[in-house]
Structure 1
Amino acid sequence: MRRSLPARFGLALLQMAVAAFVLIPFFWMLSVSLKPTTEPFAIPARLWPEAPTLANYVTAFRPEFRDYFLNSVVVSLSTVAITVTLGLLAAYAFSRARLLVITGLMSLVVLAQMFPHSAIIIPIYKMMRAADLLNTYTSLIVAYVSVTLPVAIWMLHGFLAKLPVSLEEAANIDGAGPIRVFWEIVVPLARPGIIATAVYVLIVTWQEFLFALSFTSSKAMRTLPVGLNDFIGQYGIRYGELMASSVMVSVPVVAVFFLLQRYFVAGLTAGAVKG
């Protein structure tokens, strides 16, 4: 115990240092959002405002912001529903099939994760323009599904591969068909992996900027990350309102993550140990 105490203390200090390094930018964002208009430029700079105010939040929460929020909710939740459903079906097929072709397809799924968004945005843009779907929810949802689906399949495959096949075989012996086995046996057992995948897809789509900027041309169809550009003008940046909007954008995702973090960790670690 005497030997391990210094190691524990050092590890605790390292964890605190990493946490401070990660959280300081968020603390500064919150601090600036509560400062009056001129205080962000005060010299010397202060970590916390002398007279905190909510004026920036009142100004930032304008009708346009509500439209951006609604657009982000519609696009993100639709992407989550489609990606998790398709990913679960594909991952189940990959984890139960023993054909060489299926193994090759899984390799292609892993390969698809290696392409950056900027490499596929032009082909998707041309397809959306040819289908006359630009500046619609559909174009954003299709783009986000194409990006998040490979990762969702990979995450769910690792979890489903860990589930014992004997449970499904026992249900088959009792007379349950493949569809009933899937919905009543596999899906309930895979709940942590499903929730973890849903949280991941939600985080990715909620903060995505490149596709949202390229595929939307009207102000009414903008999502929150693109809408934040309203506070960046040609002759200046409204830092207080920008930081207030950033806080309001971050809070929903952070809240969802903290509420479901145990499922997220369980889903990410599933399949890491065989047996």
Structure 2
Amino acid sequence: MNASKSTRVIQIALQIALAAFVLLPFFWMISVSLKPATEPFAIPARLWPQDPTLENYVTAFRPEFRTYFVNSMIVSGASVVITVVLGLLAAYSFSRAQLLIITVLMGGVVLAQMFPHSAIIIPFYKMMRAADLLNTYASLIIAYVSVTLPVAVWMLRGFLLKLPVSLEEAAAIDGASPLRIFCEIVVPLARPGVIATAVYVLIVTWQEFLFALSFTSTKEMRTLPVGLNDFIGQYGIRYGELMASSVMVSMPVIAVFFFLQRYFVAGLTAGAVKG
């Protein structure tokens, strides 16, 4: 019993230490965002500001920031919708077709995630320039759908494999068309997987920097991650405003993940269990 209690205490201590390690950067970001302009450079450094202020938030929330926010909403929202729709259609086909090539294709899906964005940025840039899509929403949406669709298919296929095929067969016997079966039976049952996939795509596209930096050239088209560069100047970094903007950029995704995390974990687990 004593050994069991000791093991439990060690597990709890490790969990607390891990949580502190993960949350410390976010805590420091909030702390610096509440400090006056000179306090981030104070020695010794303080974990919490002596005189907290919201001045950095007021300064950071300028018209350009609102433009970046709208751009991120448009690009991320469109990417989520397109990726989920295409991913669900492909995943449904892959989950119901009993073919050897499906296993090969799913292996290719996993392999595709091994390539970093920096390895494919030049071909993407050349294609967007040839299509005259640079500095448009379309260039970012196409790029984001391309890099998130493989994982979306993998996640959704794993979830759809858990759904009972007997329901679809019963509906087919009753005369339901394949489209009706998909829309009225498969999609409602796959809602947790769809939500998990949507959250994943939102997280990836909301914080993506490299494509957004390469494909946009004007402030009117920049997204939030690129907009944070405004606080990094040639002669210094405005840490307070940078951290305040970073907090505001992070909060929407954190809120979405907090409320939908159970679906996200369920979707990832389903995709990991089923091959």
Which amino acid letter does the alignment assign opposite residue 228 of structure 1?
L
What runs of 5+ residues in structure 1 fail to find an aligned partner?
none
Give me the whole-angstrom Cα distance separating, in 1, the residues matched to 2:258 and 2:113: 26
- Counterpart position of 2:261: 261
Secondary structure of the residue aligned to 1:260 is helix
Which residues of 2 match residues 17-166 of structure 1 at below 5 A? 17-166=17-166
Which amino acid letter does the alignment assign opposite residue 27 of structure 2?
F
Q: 1:152-208 deviations in whole A, cap 9, x for unaligned?
A: 001111111111111111111111111111111111111111100100000000000
Which amino acid letter does the alignment assign opposite residue 52 of structure 2?
P
Which amino acid letter does the alignment assign opposite residue 42 of structure 1?
A
2:156–2:271 CA contact under 8 A, matched in 1: no
Give me the whole-angstrom Cα distance separating, in 2, the residues matched to 1:122 and 1:198: 27
1:197–1:267 CA contact under 8 A, matched in 2: yes
Q: 1:25-59 deviations in whole A, cap 9, x for unaligned?
A: 11010000000111111111111111100000000
Which amino acid letter does the alignment assign opposite residue 48 of structure 1?
W
- Counterpart position of 1:245: 245
Compute the displacement of 1:124 (Å). 1.0
Give me the whole-angstrom Cα distance separating, in 2, the residues matched to 1:272 and 1:41: 46
1:171–1:181 CA contact under 8 A, matched in 2: yes
1:35–1:52 CA contact under 8 A, matched in 2: yes
Task: Quickly say closer, same or farther: Cα 1:271–1:24, change in 2 above 3 A.
Answer: closer
- Counterpart position of 1:228: 228
2:83–2:152 CA contact under 8 A, matched in 1: yes
Measured on the aligned residues, the alpha-carbon RMSD in Å equals: 1.2
Q: 1:138-159 deviations in whole A, cap 9, x for unaligned?
A: 0000000110000100111111
**Structure 1 residue ranges (4+ consecutive) displaced by more than 6 angstroms after TM superposition:** none
Compute the displacement of 1:273 (Å). 4.8
1:162–1:271 CA contact under 8 A, matched in 2: no
Give me the whole-angstrom Cα distance separating, in 2, the residues matched to 1:273 and 1:89: 20
Task: Quickly say closer, same or farther: Cα 1:139–1:272, change in 2 above 3 A.
Answer: closer
Give me the whole-angstrom Cα distance separating, in 2, the residues matched to 1:21 and 1:107: 34
Secondary structure of the residue aligned to 2:75 is helix
Which amino acid letter does the alignment assign opposite residue 229 of structure 2?
N
Task: Quickly say closer, same or farther: Cα 1:271–1:215, change in 2 above 3 A.
Answer: closer
Q: 1:40-89 deviations in whole A, cap 9, x for unaligned?
A: 11111111111100000000000000000000000000000000000000
1:161–1:271 CA contact under 8 A, matched in 2: no
- Counterpart position of 1:15: 15
Which amino acid letter does the alignment assign opposite residue 45 of structure 1?
A
Which amino acid letter does the alignment assign opposite residue 58 of structure 2?
V
Give me the whole-angstrom Cα distance separating, in 2, the residues matched to 1:77 and 1:14: 38
Compute the displacement of 1:123 (Å). 0.8
Deviates more, 1:86-95 or 1:111-120: 111-120
Compute the displacement of 1:243 (Å). 0.3
Which amino acid letter does the alignment assign opposite residue 157 of structure 2?
H
Structure 2 length as normaliser, TM-score?
Answer: 0.97
Compute the displacement of 1:12 (Å). 0.5
Give me the whole-angstrom Cα distance separating, in 2, the residues matched to 1:14 and 1:107: 35
Structure 1 length as normaliser, TM-score?
Answer: 0.97
Deviates more, 1:100-109 or 1:111-120: 100-109
Compute the displacement of 1:2 (Å). 4.0
